[in-house]
Amino acid sequence: MTSRWWCPSPFDRMHERAFKRVPEGWIFRAPNPWLFGPRRHYLIDQAQKSELSIHLRQVYRVVERALIIIVAIAVPVALVLNDNHPVMTFPGLVVGAAAIGFVVIHLAVTHMYRAVQPLMAALQPTTQRSTQGFLETQLAIHSRGRLAYYCLSSLVLFAVVLFALLSSRIWSGGNLLWLVSAIILGSAPVYWFLLYIAKVRSER
């Protein structure tokens, strides 16, 4: 995916999570169109990895754009419905966004499989597994500068949103939607800061 210095994509290099380096080449963990359940693993060479990476980046590009559209629609809807239905707004948005996200990912991965079907048919299945942990993967795909950018930008976003909520009439301490939103926005800077510290320690 294209990297932009002013707004780096969180999905940039995310496709690398599907590959693990081994002496024989690479272990490819194929994505599951249904998101959950076992995944197939294949032993591939560098040329196959390069071709698969192209299609995986396209999948993440679709997911990224879908998330932007979902958020752009969900936020105005939340503002309109929150005053009249504060209890139902948050659960409804979560369920609706999750359902739409599932459909988008399923269709994107299914389309990828169709595009690489000739290549997939020639891949060699393997009993080896990609055992990279979540932290190890995150440290591998994010640079120190990018983690610092995410930390600072999420902190600024949290401060701006919190100020807007506290200074407007839409904030209510007992409102589930805004309370959960504040917690999520507030936890993001902490998450990126902890990853940044782990990245610094791993490079020593």
Domain ranges for the chain: 1-132, 142-204
pLDDT value at residue 130 = 66
Q: Give the whole-number percent of the chain exceeding pLDDT 70.
A: 76
Q: Which residues contact 57 (CB under 8 A, 6 or more apart)?
A: 1, 15
CA–CA separation, 142 vs 201, rounded Å?
Answer: 14
Partners of 20 in the β-ladder: 27
Predicted local confidence at residue 176, as pLDDT: 59
What is the band of 83 on the pLDDT scale with cuts at 50, 70, 90?
Answer: low
Q: What pLDDT is attached to residue 42?
A: 92
Q: What is the pLDDT of residue 5?
A: 47
Nearest 5°: CA angle at 167, between 163 and 170? 105
Is a pLDDT exceeding 80 seen at residue 69?
yes
The predicted pLDDT at position 6 comes to 47
Looking at every residue in the chain, the average pLDDT score rounds to 78
pLDDT-based confidence at residue 131 (cuts at 50, 70, 90): low
What is the greatest pairwise CA distance in the chain? 61
Residue 124: phi and psi, rounded to 5, are -100, 115
Helices assigned H by DSSP within the chain: 46-82, 86-115, 117-121, 134-141, 144-166, 176-202
* pLDDT tens digit sequence for 14-65: 787 788 888 889 999 888 888 777 888 999 999 999 999 999 988 888 888 8
